[in-house]
A and B are shown apart, each in its own frame.
Chain A
Amino acid sequence: MAHVPVQPKFLRALNTVPVGTGNSVPITLFFLKTLYEFWGFCVNGGNSLTAPGGFATSQVTGSYISIDPAFENGANVTLATGNDGVTVQQTAVFTAASNPFVPGHVGKWLVCWKSGSTSTDDSIYPITQWYGSGSIGLDVITGGTSFSSSGSIPYLTSRTGINYRVVDLHAASQLTGYVNGSYMILQFNGASNVNPGQANSQAQILMREENGVTTGTDLNTLTVLLSPSGSWDGTHFLNESTYAEIVPDGTQNGPGTGGGPGDSFGFMTPSETGLITFVADNTFINTFVGGKFAGFFGPGPSTGTTLVIEVPERLYPQANDPNLICCVSLGQLGASVAAQDIGWNYAERQFPSPYDPNIRRWPIAVRCYLGSYWPDVSSPSIGNGAIHRWALFYNVVKNKFLMTDGILCLGNVAGQTGGTDAATGQYSMARARVRSSRFTSGQHQKLMRVGDRPDAWLHIGNGIMWPWDHATIPVDPFQGI
């Protein structure tokens, strides 16, 4: 089967604003609201201006969300909506004939999208100028489409009939209607495009205390529950009630070497600011939060936080592995174990199996570039390569850069949760191919862009490559790697 390319949209390095000085809830809510708008409207939005797409639709009663009722469309949160947005190529101006804008919108955020569009204009933009009731200026760096003629600097393209929402992310962060365990249920509506016959898998994102503690109110952590079959009924997942919540990893080491779950998602000090980056289509979402200031997303500027949820490409017969969804969650760690390696902590996915009730870490294996080794020695694939010569992975004649896909496999991984080190009966050499990331040597230049859409990638650091659109922006979206 031909690989299904990703069709990502981007939220690049969105600057957050200080949201409080108390506990961590405001910044957690700020992140969740940003995720809600981007996933629900920019990536999955239809023609409704108030009801998002991309959230659970399987419930008979209840909802896909259990956060303050004002979180979605409260009067102080959703400030204006419309479907008459117009943009002009290579500008940063957004106009609407219905004259919805007021001067107070400056400093708020514009969420825009068109139903069914694959345009990377669909994103969230800080509103920087008010030119009149029908026209505002945007900081287009966070979204936009890069043009080669402009040196890959992102701008808006020419579009009409654009849906939009003016929202106040800060106001959403101040809401009080939450509890330990408040959640959103993301639904991956493009799953069957990746794997024929697959259900719309779901992922529940829950507000928790550090280490995933289910009591207390300092909710600085997000945990994840996966539902391959997409069975949210309004209160729980019908078919996957035994899976454990996935708690962010607390060390850079993998299981068996002292690592394991136990950290906050990084929302420690809401008095500082940081950067939020999303890359997503309706089959995956990559998130990264990091900061240039110590104390915001962790104990220092070198720490970032990553959450990736995706539908990987199925490599086994449909009947034997019908629904695939996996995730990796790293708390305040960046995404590496050492500069020359691909991060062990990132190079895995928490991946439920239809043959076992446990969530296990499935290591990602990548193509070996330097020659394999004896069967009793785990030779490095590309991470440890002596790549001082740039040409190693770049072919001048072909003008092609060699990078590898990642395959989820499962052997005997020491330290697996649930006392299942040996994972008896679960052996798999190649169950699925991850689509959200590719891999190269960690010694390559960070933020190096490779390829052209739809096969364009960015080296976010430490050998990890994310889908990208060839844009260059004046800030490192991945501070903390």
Chain B
Amino acid sequence: MTLHVCRDFLSIGNPLTYTMGFITPYYLAMFMYITLGYSVVGQTNFNIASTPLLLGSGGTGTLNQGAGFELAFLPSNGYTVSIADVGRILVLKSPGNPMINSGLFRVTGVDTVNNWLYINYRAGALPPVETGMTWGLFASESVWYAALNFTGNGIAGTYQGQGTATQNRIILQSPSSTGYQARLAIENDYDTGTSDSFGQGSTGPANGFANGGSTVSPGYGGNSRGDFAVGGPHVHVTQFFNNHVIYQLGLTVGWFPHGNQARIYMWGDDSTGTVFAAARTVIGGSDSFVHFGLPEDEEVPLPANNASRLFVTGDNWFGGSSGIYWACGNTGVGRCGATFGLSGQPVTCIYSLYNATVNNGEFSGQPIRSSLNAGDNAYISATELVTVDLLAGTLDNTDGYSENNEVWILEGRRLGRCPMARLGRTNYGNYQTTTDPNQSWFHLVDGIYMPWQGPILP
């Protein structure tokens, strides 16, 4: 596997009126399509592979044109730069420096003489010279935002975001040998139920401030419209059941930060297609992340149905909250996850941390990760990081509708190890790298540490 990292891409800042939760599917699609090598299965109003979103692409771009021109990128494949490229998004797949030269970069200027695009590298160092880079140049968020579509198919009592619905959605197929797919979708007001403040819809997430939501759902069997099949092997729960019931709220999740501008961090593996993507809001709002794909160290024997190996965790906004936390599954934390159950329907998936065995009495009522005494560990002379497991099928409901209702099938099993992310102490600085020479880890929030390399902007 090769881990690619999109380091600190700053979302559009002019205007500052866009809802971030509607743009994140666009960021994910660019990263997955160009950097991780996903292919398009089908889409509706979400053509990531062509204009007006994709404006140029190639396989032999060059970054860093020498002293004084380190931030210049030379596209290939006959693309001619122009002033219109300023503000657009250059997406790179780096063959030699995937943790620093891959990802999304804002075009800040052009050199029409040399046919260069200048990019905002947003790191504490200049990029190393690199050739042979796969690249794609995409329209700015404004183009995407103007094309947002929230129109469902209008069939009452069902999931309206499918079939003849025109709302934006796409299904991409991963580079994994299992060929799994992921659906990125803008959701409509009827399905999310935002007009009723978490009232009637069953598809999340939406934060109550917007007229819809957006979701991320891995699975199999996508069609040309960007839909999975009703009853098919996927974890878009509302589409699976094709219904409109409040008690299923909470299991269809997405990447839905609340706010108008965010710093975007994404990690992806170009062999399994697994993705972790985080949004660090700049002005107010709530941070967010989504995590999906295949676990590490999967439990064997593997399930016969590959869909039962997939997972997603993300925002469900149930409880009116979101953020970057390990918190997952408990009602009110705003986050949950799903996998496809051995029982033939979606079931819950949660991060399983090591927790205290009783509710109180140790660590002053806090988890070990946020102990008041947390610091570097005397045994390893460093901040300690531990693995986290993914567990399926241990919750029977997700919306707090009634703790006596069994909405989801209980079939507890370990999927495997949570990929990429590790658990550490929470009192390390938020959005700080570790102090080892390679700055090998990046602490987001709440003890979520991600692989990193090199300096970072403060």
Contact = CB atoms under 8 A, between A and B. Distances in A.
A88 interface: no
A161 to B, nearest CB: 40
Contact of A369 (B368, B412, B446): B412
| Chain B binding surface, main DSSP class | loop
Contacts of B355: 365-368, 372, 378-381
Interface residues of B, number: 64
Interface string B320-333: 00000111111001
Interface in B85-130: none
Contact of B325 (A374, A378, A382, A391): A374
B226 to A, nearest CB: 30
Contacts of B361: 253-254, 256-257, 344, 414
Contact of A373 (B330, B406, B423): B330
Contacts of A75: none
Contacts of A369: 350, 352, 391, 394, 412
Contacts of B377: 427-429
A366 B373 contact: no
Contacts of A389: 396, 406, 410
B357 A439 contact: yes
Contacts of A391: 409-412
A102 interface: no
Given A366-B357, A370-B329, A427-B371, A375 B411 contact: no
A377 interface: yes
Given A365-B354, A379-B367, A429-B424, A423 B373 contact: yes
A62 B367 CA distance: 47
Contacts of B394: 369-371, 392-393, 402
Contact of A429 (B350, B362, B410, B425): B425
Nearest to A402: B412
27 contacts: A256-B362, A344-B361, A347-B357, A363-B357, A366-B355, A367-B352, A368-B354, A369-B352, A369-B412, A370-B395, A371-B328, A371-B330, A371-B333, A374-B333, A375-B327, A375-B366, A376-B366, A378-B355, A380-B358, A391-B411, A395-B411, A407-B354, A414-B364, A427-B377, A427-B378, A429-B423, A463-B357
B403 A429 contact: no
B327 A373 contact: yes
Interface stretch (B3-11, B72-80, B182-190, B379-387): B379-387
A414 B386 CA distance: 24
B380 A429 contact: no
Contact of A428 (B370, B379, B423, B446): B379
A407 to B, nearest CB: 5
A409 B371 CA distance: 11
Contacts of B263: none
A406 B358 CA distance: 13
Most buried by A among B336, B394, B414: B394
A398 B358 contact: no
B356 interface: yes
A72 interface: no
A11 B350 CA distance: 40
A412 B371 contact: yes
A416 to B, nearest CB: 10
B412 A394 contact: yes
Interface string A335-350: 0010001111001000
A144 to B, nearest CB: 33
Contacts of B333: 371, 373-374
Contacts of B414: 402
Contacts of A423: 373
A26 B340 CA distance: 60
B363 interface: yes
Contacts of A383: 357-359
Contacts of A366: 354-355, 357
Contacts of B413: 395, 398, 400, 402
Contact of B359 (A371, A378, A392, A397): A378
A430 interface: yes
Query: Which 6 pairs across A and B sit closest by C-beta, in order of nearness?
Result: A371-B329, A411-B371, A381-B355, A412-B373, A365-B354, A411-B363
A316 interface: yes
B362 A254 contact: yes
A370 B350 contact: yes
B369 A375 contact: yes
Interface string B409-421: 1111110000000
Contacts of B456: none
A342 B358 CA distance: 7
A379 B366 CA distance: 8
A411 B362 contact: yes
B100 to A, nearest CB: 29
Nearest to B343: A397
Nearest to A412: B373
A424 B376 CA distance: 11
Contacts of A376: 366, 370
B353 interface: yes
A347 B350 contact: no
A402 B414 CA distance: 8
Interface string A417-432: 0000011111111110
